[in-house]
Amino acid sequence: MSLMLMDEVDETLERKLINAACKARENAYAPYSSFKVGAAILSNSGKIFTGCNVENSSFSGTCCAERVALYNAVSQGERKFLAIAVVIEGEGLGSPCGICRQILAEFRADMKVLMANTKGEYNVESLALLFPHPFLLNE
Protein backbone atom coordinates (compact mmCIF):
# COMPACT_ATOMS: atom_id res chain seq x y z
CA MET A 1 0.00 0.00 0.00
CA SER A 2 1.38 3.42 -0.90
CA LEU A 3 1.39 6.52 1.25
CA MET A 4 -2.12 7.48 2.31
CA LEU A 5 -3.86 10.66 3.25
CA MET A 6 -5.78 11.01 6.51
CA ASP A 7 -9.13 10.97 4.71
CA GLU A 8 -8.22 7.70 2.99
CA VAL A 9 -8.72 5.88 6.30
CA ASP A 10 -12.25 4.80 5.44
CA GLU A 11 -14.70 2.73 7.47
CA THR A 12 -13.37 -0.55 6.04
CA LEU A 13 -9.84 0.30 7.16
CA GLU A 14 -11.15 1.55 10.52
CA ARG A 15 -12.83 -1.84 11.08
CA LYS A 16 -9.62 -3.63 10.09
CA LEU A 17 -7.69 -1.61 12.69
CA ILE A 18 -10.31 -2.28 15.37
CA ASN A 19 -10.28 -6.02 14.62
CA ALA A 20 -6.48 -6.07 14.88
CA ALA A 21 -6.68 -4.24 18.22
CA CYS A 22 -9.33 -6.69 19.48
CA LYS A 23 -7.05 -9.61 18.63
CA ALA A 24 -4.06 -7.93 20.29
CA ARG A 25 -6.17 -7.34 23.42
CA GLU A 26 -6.41 -11.10 23.92
CA ASN A 27 -2.66 -11.17 24.68
CA ALA A 28 -2.81 -8.47 27.36
CA TYR A 29 -1.01 -9.16 30.62
CA ALA A 30 -3.27 -7.55 33.23
CA PRO A 31 -3.11 -9.64 36.44
CA TYR A 32 -3.55 -6.61 38.73
CA SER A 33 -6.36 -4.63 37.11
CA SER A 34 -7.94 -7.30 34.86
CA PHE A 35 -8.40 -4.37 32.43
CA LYS A 36 -7.19 -5.68 29.08
CA VAL A 37 -6.52 -3.22 26.28
CA GLY A 38 -5.51 -3.77 22.66
CA ALA A 39 -4.22 -1.25 20.16
CA ALA A 40 -3.40 -1.21 16.47
CA ILE A 41 -1.58 1.63 14.73
CA LEU A 42 -1.56 2.27 10.99
CA SER A 43 1.62 3.63 9.45
CA ASN A 44 1.73 5.83 6.35
CA SER A 45 3.21 2.84 4.51
CA GLY A 46 -0.04 0.94 5.12
CA LYS A 47 1.34 -1.50 7.69
CA ILE A 48 -0.56 -2.25 10.89
CA PHE A 49 1.32 -2.81 14.15
CA THR A 50 -0.37 -4.08 17.30
CA GLY A 51 0.17 -3.97 21.03
CA CYS A 52 -1.50 -4.88 24.29
CA ASN A 53 -1.12 -3.53 27.79
CA VAL A 54 1.56 -5.18 29.93
CA GLU A 55 1.19 -4.63 33.67
CA ASN A 56 3.85 -4.97 36.32
CA SER A 57 3.73 -5.20 40.10
CA SER A 58 5.85 -2.04 40.05
CA PHE A 59 2.94 -0.06 38.61
CA SER A 60 5.16 2.58 37.01
CA GLY A 61 6.65 -0.27 34.94
CA THR A 62 3.30 -0.90 33.27
CA CYS A 63 3.06 -0.07 29.56
CA CYS A 64 -0.17 0.83 27.77
CA ALA A 65 -1.26 -0.97 24.60
CA GLU A 66 -0.96 2.21 22.56
CA ARG A 67 2.70 2.64 23.44
CA VAL A 68 3.44 -1.05 22.83
CA ALA A 69 1.91 -0.77 19.33
CA LEU A 70 3.78 2.47 18.60
CA TYR A 71 7.09 1.14 19.92
CA ASN A 72 6.60 -2.03 17.88
CA ALA A 73 6.18 0.10 14.74
CA VAL A 74 9.09 2.42 15.56
CA SER A 75 11.37 -0.54 16.29
CA GLN A 76 10.64 -1.73 12.74
CA GLY A 77 11.56 1.60 11.19
CA GLU A 78 8.19 3.36 10.94
CA ARG A 79 8.00 7.05 11.88
CA LYS A 80 4.80 8.33 10.26
CA PHE A 81 1.29 7.27 11.24
CA LEU A 82 -2.29 7.83 10.15
CA ALA A 83 -4.48 6.27 12.81
CA ILE A 84 -4.60 4.20 15.98
CA ALA A 85 -7.41 2.03 17.34
CA VAL A 86 -7.78 1.39 21.08
CA VAL A 87 -10.13 -1.39 22.24
CA ILE A 88 -11.45 -2.22 25.70
CA GLU A 89 -14.14 -4.57 26.95
CA GLY A 90 -17.33 -3.20 28.43
CA GLU A 91 -19.73 -0.35 27.91
CA GLY A 92 -17.24 2.46 27.42
CA LEU A 93 -14.82 3.19 24.60
CA GLY A 94 -11.04 2.86 24.81
CA SER A 95 -9.21 6.15 24.90
CA PRO A 96 -5.47 6.82 25.20
CA CYS A 97 -4.24 8.06 28.57
CA GLY A 98 -2.41 11.38 28.84
CA ILE A 99 1.04 9.85 28.57
CA CYS A 100 0.04 7.93 25.44
CA ARG A 101 -1.52 11.06 23.93
CA GLN A 102 1.74 12.95 24.46
CA ILE A 103 3.86 10.16 22.98
CA LEU A 104 1.54 9.71 19.97
CA ALA A 105 1.52 13.48 19.36
CA GLU A 106 5.27 13.46 18.86
CA PHE A 107 4.74 11.32 15.78
CA ARG A 108 1.53 12.96 14.47
CA ALA A 109 -0.42 15.52 16.46
CA ASP A 110 -3.53 15.15 14.28
CA MET A 111 -3.54 11.34 14.11
CA LYS A 112 -6.97 9.72 13.80
CA VAL A 113 -7.93 7.96 17.08
CA LEU A 114 -10.50 5.17 16.97
CA MET A 115 -11.87 4.61 20.47
CA ALA A 116 -13.66 1.25 20.56
CA ASN A 117 -14.96 -1.65 22.62
CA THR A 118 -15.22 -5.38 22.00
CA LYS A 119 -18.89 -5.01 21.06
CA GLY A 120 -17.85 -3.25 17.87
CA GLU A 121 -18.93 0.21 18.96
CA TYR A 122 -16.50 3.00 18.21
CA ASN A 123 -16.01 6.72 17.85
CA VAL A 124 -13.38 8.59 15.84
CA GLU A 125 -11.62 11.75 17.00
CA SER A 126 -8.49 13.59 16.02
CA LEU A 127 -5.62 13.36 18.50
CA ALA A 128 -5.40 17.16 18.20
CA LEU A 129 -8.92 17.41 19.63
CA LEU A 130 -8.19 14.92 22.44
CA PHE A 131 -4.83 16.52 23.25
CA PRO A 132 -4.77 20.10 21.94
CA HIS A 133 -1.50 21.33 23.44
CA PRO A 134 1.22 18.65 23.30
CA PHE A 135 4.75 19.42 24.40
CA LEU A 136 6.86 19.28 21.24
CA LEU A 137 10.50 20.41 21.17
CA ASN A 138 10.65 20.54 17.38
CA GLU A 139 7.79 23.05 17.06
Catalytic residues: 66
End-to-end CA distance of the chain: 30
In contact, 9 and 83? CB cutoff 8 Å: yes
Backbone angles phi, psi at 40, to 5 degrees: -140, 130
Whole-angstrom CA distances from 81 to 4, 56, 58 are: 10, 28, 31
C-alpha 129/C-alpha 25 separation (Å) is 25
